[in-house]
Amino acid sequence: MKTIFLLLAVLGLAAPAFPAAGENKPMDKKTEYAVFAGGCFWCMEAVFERVPGVVAVVNGYTGGHVDHPTYEEVCTSTTGHAEAVQIEFDPAQVSYAHLLDVFWNAHDPTSLNRQGADEGPQYRSAIFYLDDAQKAAAETSERAAQAELSRPIVTQIEPLKKFWPAEDYHQHYFAKHPDQGYCAFVIRPKVQKLQAEGVITK
């Protein structure tokens, strides 16, 4: 499965579906999943692709009520979906708790429905948990993050229902277009800042 997932990512194809909250995972599955929303998914993807132990990151949409949403639909702020990243990771190399730490540092969790110039509910901060253990970890992590912030966290913590992979051209966007305006002036500084702070290491 991992080989297929990586091959699809390299080819720019849609990623396969993965277990939603409450569903059983294959017994031989050695990787796990996390789903976060923290503004533009290009930014979050670029950050989490640089976390050791992360196997793959897929940009997509979740949290809304429209099936098979398109980017244009999500941009209307009427689908209920947020731009999000699906992270496949190896728990033997990186913990879900560490991914949560990266999440809090990778965006402003006190900004409601906005990250920088990106504004609208599709840019909201959210953690979509797959099971009770992830929910508990997210809530514990939120309390720790709040203790370090002067403004209240507005991040939503809710069960994952369905993750819809975004269009092919959204996948690995920063890697493919490092000199594009948004990438050069928004994503690259964010990545460099987190690298300098030791939040991400590669």
Annotated catalytic sites, by residue?
A: 40
β-pair partners for 32: 89
Confirm if 116 and 39 have CB atoms less than 8 A apart.
yes
How many other CB atoms sit within 10 Å of the CB of residue 163? 21
- DSSP track, 95-153: -HHHHHHHHHHHS-TTSTTEETTEESGGG-EEEEESSHHHHHHHHHHHHHHHTT-SS--
Taking the CB of residue 64, how many other CB atoms lie within 10 A of it? 19
Helices (H) and strands (E) counted in the chain, each on its own, are 8, 8
